[in-house]
């Protein structure tokens, strides 16, 4: 069955890198069902990352995510949640370069904070995040 996940190209990624990321997403066989460019507010970022509340990087994460526009996409494919996480690679670019050199974070991430892309961690988060960003409209 086709699964849907929320993918985000985070703030500060150049237009050229955004295009490159989108091409790699399509080459990997995902359909981009919806796309929207929005600057998240701090409140939206807080909703989005509520499971990280209290962590030492939480405030810098909220600043980062709300400082410029992001590209938010619904990616659709069989096993989309896990496959998108694989294409992104690990959060830490050092680790990504070691164990997943073809991944997007290995190619483009600056640091564990400024790591270029985000994806829902499981189906429940995917469903919740898609609803939060795109509303209840038909997919
Ligand atoms: P993401 O996959 O979007 O989910 C949580 C985000 O928090 C992560 O990417 C990074 O942007 C950030 N993050 C996770 N761990 C750390 C860390 N140890 N230091 C700084 N930022 C982090």
Neighbours of 134 (CB within 10 A): 17
Does residue 108 fall inside a structural domain?
Answer: no
Residue-number span of the structural domain to which 31 is assigned? 2-80+117-134
Q: What is the total count of domains within the chain?
A: 1
Task: Tell me what pLDDT residue 137 has.
Answer: 60
Atom of ligand 1 nearest to the CA of 49: 5
Does residue 70 fall inside a structural domain?
Answer: yes
Query: Domain of 130: which CATH number?
Result: 3.30.70.141
Does residue 99 fall inside a structural domain?
Answer: no
Does residue 51 fall inside a structural domain?
Answer: yes
Does residue 47 fall inside a structural domain?
Answer: yes
Please give the ipTM for the structure prediction.
Answer: 0.97
How far is it, in rounded angstroms, from Cα 79 to Cα 46?
A: 27
Ligand 1 pocket at CB < 6 A: 52, 57, 61, 91, 112-113, 115, 118
Atom of ligand 1 nearest to the CA of 119: 2
Cite the active site residues: 118
Does residue 127 fall inside a structural domain?
Answer: yes
- Residue 5 has which token pair? 């996940």
Digit-coded pLDDT (tens) for 97-138:
999 999 999 999 999 999 999 999 999 999 999 999 999 765
pLDDT band at 36 (very low <50, low <70, confident <90, very high): very high
- Residue among 108, 112, 125, 133 whose CB has most ligand 1 atoms within 8 A, to mutate: 112
Q: Does residue 139 register a pLDDT over 60? A: no
Digit-coded pLDDT (tens) for 8-29:
999 999 999 999 999 999 999 9
Nearest CA owner, ligand 1 atom 10? 113
């Amino acid at each position: 069955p086709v699964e849907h996940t929320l993918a985000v190209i985070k703030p500060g990624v150049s237009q050229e890198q955004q295009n490159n990321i989108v091409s790699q997403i399509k080459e990997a066989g995902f359909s981009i069902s919806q796309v929207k460019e929005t600057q998240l507010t701090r409140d939206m970022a807080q909703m989005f990352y509520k499971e990280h509340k209290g962590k030492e990087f939480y405030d810098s994460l909220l600043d980062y995510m709300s400082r410029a526009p992001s590209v938010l996409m619904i990616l659709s494919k069989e096993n989309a949640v896990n496959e998108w996480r694989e294409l992104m690679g690990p959060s830490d670019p050092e680790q990504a370069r070691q164990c997943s050199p073809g991944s997007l974070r290995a190619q483009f991430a600056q640091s564990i904070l400024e790591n270029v892309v985000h994806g829902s961690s499981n189906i429940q988060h995917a469903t919740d995040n898609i609803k939060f960003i795109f509303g209840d409209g038909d997919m």
